[in-house]
Chain A
C-alpha cells in the first residue's frame, strides 16, 4: 500500500459513493463520499443509527460495501478479496467505544497481540510495546488485567494497541462514549498528541462539547447520508 496514487497526492483516504444495505433494505450507509488528507484530524458526527459504525466497518474492511470505492494511500481496498482483508487492517488502527480488549490477557499482552498475529518476533515486540506504553502513559500498569483498570485506562490500552503497528490512519468510533467529561478530555488530548506526531485520525462522536472545543473539519451523517461538511 505504498504507491499508485491517482487523485490529490496528499489524500490518504478517499471514499466514493459508498453504499451498505442490511437485509432486508436498511440503507445503513447511502452514497457517502469524502476524503481525508495525510496528517488530518477529522470528525464524523451523527445521531444514533446514522451509520457511523457501519462506515468505519467498511473503511477497515471488517465488512464489504455493496458498491463504491475506498482508496487508502491510493489503493482501492474494495478490490481486495475479503479473505485478505486482514492485510488492510494491519495498516490501520481502530478504536471502539467498548475498548475491545481481551480480558484474560494483561495490558502488555493485549498490545503485543496486534504484533503477534503478524509473526513479529518477541524481541521486536517488546521494544515497540514499551514505546507505545510510554505514549499512553501506562508503563506502570503493563501487568494489569483490563478489568482491573478504569474506563479511561482501558481506552488508552486500546489506543496503544491501535498505534503499535504505526497505522496509516487511526479510526476511532466514539472512543469517549463510555467516559465522563474529564476522562474524555484526557483521551482527546492524547489523540491530539498522536495527531501531532503525524498520524491521521478520523473520529466519530456525538459529543457536541468536544466538537465546539476542537473546531476541526466535521462530516455530518444523517440516516446513512452525508448531509453536511463543516469547515471551521
Chain B
C-alpha cells in the first residue's frame, strides 16, 4: 500500500523531470531505442545463424569414391570399416546406377549413356568439426580412390560466422556504452536542474530514497520506452530475416516457429533496457546526490 503510494508520487515527479528536460529525455529515448534495436537484431541474426549452422552442418556430407574394380565383399568390408570410424554418424553405399539416376534427375537435359561415376560411400560426420579428420582417415583406407574435400567450404562458412559474431559484439558494446553514458549524463543534468527542488524536498523531510526515486524511475523508463519502440521496429525486420532464412535454407529440419523467437527477444530487450536504464541512473544518482 505504502509502496504504491510512493510509486505513484515518484512517477508523477519523474514526469515533471521528463518534461523539464524534454530534449535530453528525447535524446535518451532515441539512443536507447537504437541500442536495443541493434541488440535485438544482432541477437535475432545470431539465433538464425546458429540454426543455419545446424541445418547446413547436417548436409555437409563427405563422399568417398571407391575403385571400380572392387568386389561386393570388398565393398562391404570398406563400408563396415567406415561405419566404425568414431567421426562417422552414418554411411550409405551409392552404386554407380543410383548415382546416375540422381544425376539425371538433377540435370534433365543431360545425355549420359554409360556410367562415368565410380561406386561411392556417402558419409555424414558426427559433427562438422570432424570433417578434416574424417577426410584424412578415409584417404588412408585401402580401396578408396578419392575423397571430396569440403573443408575449405566449411571453414569459409564458419569464418564468416565468426567475423559476424565479433562485429556484432563490438557494435553492441559501442551502442550500450552510448546508452549508459547518455542516461547517466541526463540524470546528472536533471539532478542539477532540480537542485532547488531537491533542497526543498530534503528540507520538508524526504528520505534519501524518496529524493532519488524519480530520477532512477526516469532512467528505467528511458530503457523501457526504448525497448518498446525497438520492438515495434523489430517486427518487420524479423519477417525479413525469417523470409531470407527460409529462402536460403529451403529444407529446414528445425521447426523454428515453435521457439517463439520474436517474443522471447522482445521480452529480453525489455528486461535489458529496464536494467541498463536503472543501473545508469542509479550510479549517476549515487555520484551527484550526496
Binding site for B on A (CB under 8 A): 60, 62, 83, 86-87, 89-90, 94, 100-102, 104, 113-114, 116-119, 121-122, 161, 165
Contact = CB atoms under 8 A, between A and B. Distances in A.
B190 to A, nearest CB: 14
B6 A119 contact: yes
Given A119-B2, A119-B6, A89 B203 contact: yes
Contact of A119 (B5, B16, B201, B208): B5
B5 A86 contact: no
Given A102-B197, A104-B16, A117 B203 contact: no
Interface of B: 2, 5-6, 9, 16, 197, 199-208, 210
A117 B5 contact: no
A224 to B, nearest CB: 23
Contacts of A122: 5
Which 5 residue pairs of A and B lie closest in terms of their CB atoms, listed nearest first? A90-B205, A117-B206, A114-B204, A89-B205, A119-B2
Given A119-B2, A119-B5, A114 B202 contact: no
A100 B205 contact: no
Contacts of B5: 119, 121-122
17 contacts: A62-B202, A86-B208, A89-B202, A89-B204, A89-B205, A90-B205, A100-B199, A100-B200, A101-B200, A102-B197, A102-B200, A113-B200, A113-B201, A114-B205, A117-B206, A117-B207, A161-B204
A84 to B, nearest CB: 8
A83 B208 CA distance: 7
B16 A117 contact: no
Contacts, number: 43
Given A62-B202, A113-B204, 20 more contacts: A62-B203, A83-B208, A86-B205, A86-B207, A89-B203, A89-B205, A90-B205, A100-B199, A100-B203, A102-B197, A113-B200, A113-B201, A116-B9, A117-B205, A117-B206, A117-B207, A118-B205, A119-B6, A161-B204, A165-B205
Contacts of B210: 117
A121 B207 CA distance: 17
A89 B199 CA distance: 12
A62 B203 CA distance: 7
A117 B200 contact: no
A121 B2 CA distance: 8
Contacts of B199: 100
A122 B4 CA distance: 12
A118 B16 CA distance: 20
A67 B81 CA distance: 91
A1 to B, nearest CB: 13
B25 to A, nearest CB: 16
Contacts of A118: 205
Contacts of A60: 203
B234 to A, nearest CB: 37
Nearest to A84: B207
A138 B81 CA distance: 101
A89 B205 CA distance: 5
A89 B208 CA distance: 13
Contacts of B208: 83, 86
Contacts of A62: 202-203
